[in-house]
A = this chain, B = another copy of it.
Amino acid sequence: MNLDRCCIHTITTKPWSLSESVERYAAAGVKGISVWQNAVEGMSHAQAGELIRRSGLDVVSYVRGGFFPHTSQQEREKAIDHNKKLIEEAAALGAPLIVLVCGASPDQPLETSREQIQAGIEAILPLAQQMNVKLAIEPLHPMYAADRSAINTLAQANDLSESIGSPSVGVAVDVYHLWWEPNLEAEIKRCGKNGHLLAYHVCDWKVNTIDMLNDRGLMGEGCIDIKKISRWVDDTGFDGYVEVEIFSNIYWQEDQQHFLNKITQAFQEKV
């Protein structure tokens, strides 16, 4: 894949500050950046947006909203307020999109969490529309169903986004979470067709994953046929950024410039 479509999530190079990430990504020929909330430190979101645009990078998405399900009403309302704040931050930053990690609670049925997720998204939708910020439901791998996301397949995410039925709500396709899904090609077609495919994330699944959270692989290092999935995504007409999002205790310990070089090389060869 050509670097012109390459976007990197700030979490991927976690040891770097936002300024350093921006400078290094731009120098490496990367064109987009997805900003994690924790990366905006010591400046306002508007200032962060200016910093990024001055470097020539596009702000691709703001990460991450969601975590709607809770057993208590009060906690659910707090989550909605928090997501509204994130929408305002995204607008100030100039991010066209917020990624939603929907949430789950081990203390209630998944069905209940799924209802609360839909209610949560519908509660923040008017503000998102008003601020011109889209919301991307990101299905997470089933190994996160206990406490991170009750939405675990693209089929579910598509059902949910269709049920909400707004042009401001769609899905994020992440190969790490979805590569195993039986009808993935058809589900990618489905969200592509109705304009709901809002984001596309890449990394790799290491065959011997040693940590369920922070042992994602660089593209080409694992067993995912990323090129095949990229083709499915492109075949829908999607021509947006391809976002590199790698959580890795191993890579975070490396020299980050060295890691960035590996990323841009892998992006061109393996995506």
Q: Is A26 an interface residue (CB 8 A)?
A: no
Q: Is A145 an interface residue (CB 8 A)?
A: yes
Cβ of A106 and Cβ of B180 under 8 Å apart?
A: no
Which of these, B146, B153, B207, B228, contacts A146 with CB under 8 Å? B207
Q: Is A205 an interface residue (CB 8 A)?
A: yes
Q: Is A132 an interface residue (CB 8 A)?
A: no
Which of these, B109, B143, B156, contacts A182 with CB under 8 Å? B156
User: For the side of the interface on A, what is the size category?
Assistant: 20 to 34
Cβ of B207 and Cβ of A147 under 8 Å apart?
A: yes
Q: Is A223 an interface residue (CB 8 A)?
A: yes
B-contact bits for A135-160, CB 8 A (1 contact / 0 none): 00000011101110000110110000
Q: What is the CA–CA distance of A110 and B155 in the complex, to the nearest angstrom?
A: 18
Q: What is the CA–CA distance of A223 and B180 in the complex, to the nearest angstrom?
A: 23
Q: Is A212 an interface residue (CB 8 A)?
A: yes
Q: Is A38 an interface residue (CB 8 A)?
A: no
**Distance (Å) between the CB of A254 and the closest chain B CB?**
24
| Chain A 85-111 interface residues, beta-carbon cutoff 8 Å to B | 106-107, 109-110
Counting chain B CB atoms within 10 Å of each CB, the highest count among A107, A207, A228 belongs to A207
| Chain A 145-186 interface residues, beta-carbon cutoff 8 Å to B | 145-147, 152-153, 155-156, 179-182
Residue of B nearest to A143 (CB): B143
Cβ of A180 and Cβ of B205 under 8 Å apart?
A: no
Cβ of B223 and Cβ of A146 under 8 Å apart?
A: yes
Q: Which residues of B contact A156 (CB under 8 A)?
A: 182
Q: Is A225 an interface residue (CB 8 A)?
A: yes
Q: What is the CA–CA distance of A152 and B145 in the complex, to the nearest angstrom?
A: 15
Q: A152-B180, A209-B212 are in contact. List 18 more A-B contacts (CB 8 A).
A: A106-B207, A106-B222, A106-B223, A109-B228, A141-B142, A141-B143, A142-B143, A142-B180, A142-B181, A143-B143, A146-B205, A146-B207, A146-B222, A147-B207, A152-B182, A153-B182, A155-B182, A212-B212
The 7 closest A-B pairs by CB, nearest first: A106-B223, A145-B180, A142-B180, A146-B207, A143-B143, A146-B223, A106-B207
Q: List 9 A-B contacts (CB under 8 A).
A: A106-B223, A110-B180, A141-B142, A145-B179, A145-B180, A152-B182, A153-B182, A155-B182, A212-B212
